[in-house]
Structure formats: structure tokens, C-alpha cells
Structure 1
Amino acid sequence: MNFPHGLPTGRFCNGKIPADFIAEFLGVKPTLPPYLKPGLTHEDLVTGVSFASGGSGFDPLTPIVVSAIPMSNQLTYFQEYIEKVKGFVGKEKAEHIISKSLAIVIAGSDDLANTYYGTHAEELLYDIDAYTSYMASSASSFAMQLYESGARKIGFIGVSPIGCIPIQRTARGGLKRKCFDEINVAAQLFNTKLSRSLHSVAETLKNATLVYIDIYSLFAHMIQNPKEYGFDEIDRGCCGTGMVELGPLCNQFTSLLCSNVSSYMFWDSYHPTERAYRILTKKFVETDMSPFYDK
């Protein structure tokens, strides 16, 4: 709705998402195109693309649940992308570009919200302590695979307080639609393990910067102090009723009800608005990503 040209792009948002804002704030380009978009130019590729698929996760079962592209496939696309860049600019320059580029990974929320607490598909095999350890181990393995593929600046964004997103409030928050505290505790548990695991991996990597990026704290503060950030609504999305709609249910018809999207923290029942994403991304680009800038 608020993205340039107003056409659907596959982003679960009314406009730009963190990948776009990272590229914008670093002065690279205003939006980050998906790798699978038809007709990408050489310039599009050498200045960065997105391999992400909404709904994927560190658990291989997660993308099956929502028909997303598995992260293993995304890694394959990344490796394929590197070969394309080599074809454009030569092997030496391509390796320089990749080593100086940022590889940002964000996953985990769908593992918890959809696979573990949603379908309960993994609850018979793991308690939440074991499952979050499994997630963190998978994330570390993915970091190593990125490094082995040529990435040298790698950032992993942690999970937000997903128990406070509108659909979790609706499904698990009772009549008062309170935050679902159990999944928030799980998110914090995973974030702690992810941070520790990445720190251990970082000590083994030569000429690389591997960083954990916390968004839980700021996200929680925004929910607890909405007026401070200019939000009027923090417990329902702008699209439709704001209680359950997401994906295809947020369309040209249900979004007609969304006249002042900037006053909402959430676009649909799961994902933040462009304005909320801008606030979150600006903060971690200025702080958590600072280790990347002097290298």
C-alpha cells in the first residue's frame, strides 16, 4: 500500500521492511530486491539482494508448515548468486565485494510461533529448553556455512516478543487479549542461546565479524510505551479487524479500513508496519551493527 508504485511485492508489510531500511540507512539503495525477482540487472546484483522467504526458519520443518523456501535453499541461491557476480566482475573483485558485504539473517520467530507452539509438531520430541538449543545450534551451523561461502560480515537478528503480536493475543491472550508470556520467555531463552552460540563460533572464524543483534528490548519498550513512539494502536493490526488477518487476508479490500497506518505498530496480525520497522531498524543499525563499520 505504501511501497513505491503501490504494487504487492511479497513483503508482509504496508511498505518497506528491515532489509530495505538497512540498504537505505547504509546509503546503498532505497530498497533491496529479491534474488528471485525476474529481470534483475547487474547493478541490482552487485549492490545486494534478498534471499529471504517469509515463514522460513532454523528448523527444517518450519518452511514445510507454511510452504516457505527452506534456509538451505536460500544458502544455495546465495552461492549461485556469488557465481553470477564472478561472471560480471571477475573472481577477485567478486570475492572482495562478498567479503565487504553484510549478510543479515533473521529467523526463529516462525519456529516458535508456528512449528512449536502453533502446530505442536516438535513438542513430542523436545521440551522448550531442548528446542531452543536445537534452534541455536542450527543458527550457528548456518553462520558457518555463510562463512564458508565467502561472507565475512554476518549479523543475526534475534526474536522479538512475539507473544505480544496481535494474533498471539487473540489466540492465547484470553478475553483481555494479553501478551502470551510463555512464548515470550521462549524467545528470550532462544536469544540468549543464540548470542552465546554465535560468540563461540565467532572466536573460531578468521578475518570475520559475527554479531548478534537484539531487537527484543526495543520492541518490548515500544509495546509498553506506545505514545513515546507515536503509536495509538499496539494490540491489533491495521488491516481488517487486526485480530487474525495476515498474508492474503490483508488485501486491497481489507486495507480500506486502514486509513492512518502510521498510528499502528502492526500492519497485520503478525508483522509490524513500515513505520515500526523504520524505528527498530534505525536503532540496531546505529548501535548493534557498529562493529561492521570500521572494517
Structure 2
Amino acid sequence: MRVALVCTLAIAIFFSSVNSQGVTLVPAIITFGDSIVDVGNNDYIGTIFKANYPPYGRDFKNKEATGRFCNGKLATDITAETLGFTSYPPAYLSPQASGKNLLLGANFASAGAGYDEHTSLLSHVIPLSQQLQYYKEYQGKLTKVAGAKQAASIIKDALYLVSAGSSDYVQNYYVNPFLNKAYTPDQYSSYLVSSYTSFIKNLYGLGARRIGVTSLPPLGCLPAARTLFGYHESGCVARLNTDAQQFNKKINAATTQLQKQLPGLKMVVFDVFKPLYDIVADPKKNGFTEATKGCCGTGTIETTSLLCNPKSIGTCPNATQYVFWDSVHPSQAANQILADSLIIQGIALIS
């Protein structure tokens, strides 16, 4: 415990000294995935999965609802700041994704997307395959802005972040009788991991060499999951957490194989399950008072912005006391704890 604390303090001192020098530890951050990392791409497509109006963003800079599914910063925003960035890589579909802003990287994530292409199609969002196509397009734009040599350097040394899988289960598998009768959780997780492997290989083929991937969180602890699938079970829904852990074991094994197969690839699977589970299991220890429901509205079923809106009755006045902002997404306060954990886990990607 003492060694871990010393390591954490050393890392914190290192990052603060880097930030004070005004340099970034990686030239750019490129992000793919779902609502945990979407910074506004869904604002520009025809889907109900949007977060571009209050109370989303009420604790963000200028109280702006940017499309982030949070009251404030995402864990990836906090990570970018820790790595020395003073502004965030833009959502690729936004007007900000042009000119010198592209030098920071770009965010291709789309809330509701998953490793299963059908998950994205059901929600009318941008599937991972299309996110990769946009990334190819981005590379061409980057070359025009930076020149071929600098663009190649940015692509090679950038940090790539991937977050997906939760939507596949919560918005597809568990609520789709055709799917959950055709596949056992074990079979479906194997299918998702196969899709994950293909995605990483394609991303590697486009030049990515430093890739961080998030594990599944404790799905059974999400307030929406407790409401929809918990029945009379107290606490987190055990079978959903078991499914998440089973998926996480497989994605870790697949990642180990990818590193053996793909020369020069640095990969880390960020364990999101344990830090979030620990916060939910003992919220007071981490400075929270509520871990069973989200801040917005009733905090039990607001899985999309349709239900978390300016007229939502019961929205809490202080989100810092809540682990979850809505019924699926962590609050900025919880994201801070997750980001601290991810930075320590991801040291290998930036060394």
C-alpha cells in the first residue's frame, strides 16, 4: 500500500512538472467509441442520443452543453489535461475540427455505438467502422495542415483511446429478445471480442501504435441496470457484473495476443470495473453520498437525454455528491477518480 502511494505521488509530481513546462506528453489524442467518450459528434447526426442541452454540461466550462453525457468533464478530458493539453481534441463532425485544431487529434466517438455494428444501427449512431472511415479522412486533412512528415509523426506517436461495449449489452443484448435467446452471454461476449480484435487490427493498419482500451464497467451497478434488470435484487445486479467480468477477461486475453502479433504495438486495457465498483461499494470513503441513482431527474431510468432534460423533476443541486450524473454515466467527480486511475495504468503508453 505504501509503495503504491509513493508511486502515485511520484507520477503526480512528474505530470505537474510537465504541465508547468507547457508541453504535452503525446502530440495528439485520437478517440473512438461510445457515450463515455463522445464529446459532441451525436449533435450532428439524426439520433435521439444527444446531450447538447441542459442540464448536461452545467458544470462544464461556460456551463456549456457540448454533447458530453456528463455534468462536466469526461475522464478523457481530465486525462488530456493531465497530459498537458490546454484544449481538447474536437469532435470530428463539429466545425471546430478544422485547421490547426486537427493537430491536437480528433474525437470520433458516438454515443450508443458498440463493437456490434447492429447496436449502432439500432440507435442511428456512428458505428465503429464509420468512425474508422472518418479517421482515414482525418489523416488526409491532417497532412494538408501539417505536411506529410509532421502528420506521419503525429499519427505514429498519438495516444489512441477506445471505449465501447456497454451499449452492446445495456441497449442491445439485454433488451433484445431475439439476441439474448440466440446467444448466451458467453457466446455474445466472444462475438464482441472478435469484433474488437478486427477493429484494433484495422486501427493498427492505419498507423496507431499506442492504444488504450477501456474494460467494461460494473454494468450491474449502473442505476439504469438496477432499475430495468434488478427486479427485487438489492445492490448491484450480480449476473450483469459477471457478464462484464467475463467480457473483460476475454478482451485482456485478446489484447495480449494482438501485442504478440503486431510489431511495435503498445496496448493497455484500462480496468474501469474495479475503480468504479469500489466507489459504488463504498461511496462515503470516496466523498460521495449517493451511488444508487443519478443526479438528473429520478436518476433511475434517464438513459438518454430525452429523459434527462431541463424540466426533469428532482435533479440534484450538487452533482459532486453523486457517483452517477444520469442513470448510466458517471459524474465529473467520479470521472476524476477514474481518470486518476487510468493515468497510472497507462504509464506504459506514454513512456
Range into which the TM-score falls when normalised by the shorter chain: over 0.9
Match of 1:126 among 170, 183, 187: 183
| C-alpha contact (below 8 Å) 2:320/2:331 kept by paired residues | yes
Q: Distance in 2 between matches of 1:175 and 1:187?
A: 21
Q: Distance in 2 between matches of 1:150 and 1:120?
A: 39
Deviation at 1:4, TM superposition (A): 1.0
Match of 2:264 among 207, 210, 231: 207
Deviation at 1:241, TM superposition (A): 1.0
Deviation at 1:30, TM superposition (A): 4.0
| C-alpha contact (below 8 Å) 1:19/1:32 kept by paired residues | no
Q: Distance in 1 between matches of 2:314 and 2:98?
A: 35
Q: Give 1:270's aligned amino acid.
A: V
Match of 1:258 among 316, 328, 331: 316
- The equivalent residue for 1:168 is 225
Q: Give 1:5's aligned amino acid.
A: N
Two-structure CA RMSD over aligned residues (Å): 1.5
In 2 relative to 1, CA 284–92 (structure 1 residues): closer, same or farther, beyond 3 Å? same
Give the secondary-structure state (helix, strand or coil) at the position aligned to 1:184: helix
Match of 1:19 among 60, 76, 94: 76
In 2 relative to 1, CA 239–136 (structure 1 residues): closer, same or farther, beyond 3 Å? same
Deviation at 1:147, TM superposition (A): 0.5
For 1:45-100, what per-residue CA distance to the aligned partner results, in whole angstroms no more than 9, with x for missing partners? Answer: 11122100011000011112222210101011111111111111111211110111
Q: Does 1:284 align with 2:346?
A: no
Give the 5 Å matches for 1:1-295: 1-175=58-232, 177-246=234-303, 247-254=305-312, 257-286=315-344, 288-294=345-351
| C-alpha contact (below 8 Å) 1:86/1:94 kept by paired residues | yes
In the alignment, structure 2 segments of 5+ residues that lack a partner are: 1-57
Q: Distance in 2 between matches of 1:229 and 1:255?
A: 27
Deviation at 1:21, TM superposition (A): 1.5
In the alignment, structure 1 segments of 5+ residues that lack a partner are: none
Deviation at 1:22, TM superposition (A): 1.8
Normalising by structure 1, we get a TM-score of 0.95
Tell me which stretches of 4 or more aligned residues in structure 1 moved more than 3 Å: none
Give the secondary-structure state (helix, strand or coil) at the position aligned to 2:168: helix
For 1:94-148, what per-residue CA distance to the aligned partner results, in whole angstroms no more than 9, with x for missing partners? Answer: 1110111011000001111121112234223321111101111111111111100
Task: Report the identity percentage.
Answer: 37
In 2 relative to 1, CA 103–273 (structure 1 residues): closer, same or farther, beyond 3 Å? same
Deviation at 1:36, TM superposition (A): 0.8
Q: Distance in 2 between matches of 1:134 and 1:37?
A: 32
Instruction: Name the count of aligned residue pairs.
Output: 293
Q: Distance in 2 between matches of 1:236 and 1:167?
A: 8
In 2 relative to 1, CA 171–191 (structure 1 residues): closer, same or farther, beyond 3 Å? same
Q: Distance in 1 between matches of 2:96 and 2:193?
A: 36
Deviation at 1:256, TM superposition (A): 6.9
Q: Distance in 2 between matches of 1:14 and 1:255?
A: 16
Give the secondary-structure state (helix, strand or coil) at the position aligned to 1:104: strand
Q: Distance in 2 between matches of 1:218 and 1:152?
A: 26
Deviation at 1:41, TM superposition (A): 3.9
Normalising by structure 2, we get a TM-score of 0.80
